[in-house]
Amino acid sequence: MPPNVPAIRRRANAILIASQILGGLGVATALALAAVLAEEVSGSRALSGLATTSSVIGTALLSLPLASLMGARGRRAGLTLAYLIAAAGGTLVVVAATLGNFPLLLIGMAAFGAGNSANLQARFAAADLAEPQRRGRAIALVVWATTIGAVVGPNISAPAGHGASGLGMPQAAGPFLLATVVFLVSAVLVWALLRPDPLLTARAIASAGPDGQQSPEDRSLRAGLAAVAASPRARLALVTIAGSHTAMVSVMVMTPVDLRHHGAGIELIGLVISGHIAGMYAFSPLMGWLADRIGRLSVICFALALLACATLLAGTAGPSHTQSAAGLFLLGLGWSAGLVSGSALLTDSVPQAARAAVQGLSDLSMNAAAGAGGALAGLVVAQAGYGWLNAMSAALLLPVAALALFGRVRTRS
């Protein structure tokens, strides 16, 4: 009997949205105080940024192994393992904070990055069974679910910290203790309820179609690399995702420093970053709808325009906090457009068997590039200034613009 695809799709999307809310809550709650905890444990403000950097590195390094597992066993196995690794990382961070062990803290933060890997891969899981003409909206809906956790998480960091103090732990370790519990709940939820597996179901449907059976070699990383090499649209999608993410991260991480340099207080900085996060997630359903209605390439061009305007506004804001806030909001909006349209285009452009490997390659590329961009951003600001950082971030978009223009010309031809 053929599977009831609409019913399976609805069930899978409901589980993915629930796990995304929990996963976003776990990541946002803990990362809000990651730098504070690192400074307390290391005793050095200069080393405080290494906590977030370790998390980004962990996300990048775990992307391919998790994608490989999903390619072999399905989304359910990969997402469950990712949440379990993140829970183990949160536990290590709590232990490291209690013992005052900074190297152990960094190891825990790297494992904690698996939580973000799960959140990123969930958007592709939503696309497994989506109809091609609704794929952008399916991806966007899961991305939007992150908004709830991202907004609520930082606001419960303080209560979680007070709870940790009552247990004799450093206050800044409390959010990681809470995140560990949240990730364990997410793992149980996905393992118990994400049945049937959306990726395995999509493969079963594809195997029954004209393309026939798929071999394990068709799902390997080598096959994924070959699929990207053979598809100009897949290459455009990869460059779009990595370029927009790197530009966003590079500017975002140094904006609080620039705002404080121009007299902004903590409350104002928090409002600006909150507006940025709203731009990142809250409007993703609109970006998905646009990607499905007017096309992936058109929304990629829209993303580039938003990011260019964002860097212009932020880079020339100076003491104008209102202009900085507008720039950061557009920066988040451009990132959302680039991520949703690029993810939909990537899924469209490669064979079904190779998608999990290509999607893992995408997450590796975007996080590795963003990690490098975030690490270099401080040096650029120190040597040249915040305005030059925005100019260099805008320059990162030029290869994406060239490929997008070439893609539109090829499409019209």
CATH number of the structural domain spanning residue 161 = 1.20.1250.20
pLDDT score, position 218:
63
State which of 197, 213, 229 marks the end of a domain. 213
Instruction: List all residues 6 or more positions away from 342 whose beta carbon is below 8 Å from its beta carbon.
Output: 236, 237, 238, 240, 241, 244, 296, 300
Query: Comparing 1 with 255, which gets the higher pLDDT?
Result: 255
- Taking residues 348-365, report their average pLDDT: 89
Q: If 0-12 CB within 10 Å is exposed, 13-18 middle and 19+ buried, where does residue 192 land?
A: exposed
pLDDT of residue 30: 76
Please tell me whether residues 207 and 95 are part of one structural domain. Answer: yes
Rounded-to-integer distance, Cα 244 and Cα 342, Å: 10
Same domain for 204 and 225? no
User: Looking at the structure, do residues 21 and 125 belong to the same domain, yes or no?
Assistant: yes
Q: What is the pLDDT of residue 25?
A: 85
Mean pLDDT taken over the chain = 87
Within this chain, do residues 107 and 227 fall inside the same structural domain, yes or no? no
* Claim to verify: residue 185 and residue 270 sit in the same structural domain: no
pTM attached to this predicted model: 0.85
**Which of 213, 237, 257 is the last residue in one of the domains?**
213
Residue range(s) defining the domain that contains residue 24: 1-213
Q: Which of 213, 241, 262 is the last residue of a domain?
A: 213
Structure tokens at 274: 């909150």
1: pLDDT strictly greater than 70: no
How big is the chain by its Cα radius of gyration, in Å? 21
* Tokens standing for residue 256: 């609080």
Verify that 398 and 288 share a domain, yes or no. yes
The larger pLDDT score, comparing residue 29 to residue 291, is at 291
Could you tell me if 60 and 178 lie in one domain? Answer: yes
Are 181 and 226 within one domain?
Answer: no
Mean of pLDDT values over 145-161: 74
pLDDT of 189 strictly over 90: yes
Tell whether 171 and 259 lie within a shared domain: no
Tell whether 177 and 61 lie within a shared domain: yes
Q: Are residues 257 and 399 in the same domain?
A: yes
The total number of structural domains that make up the chain: 2
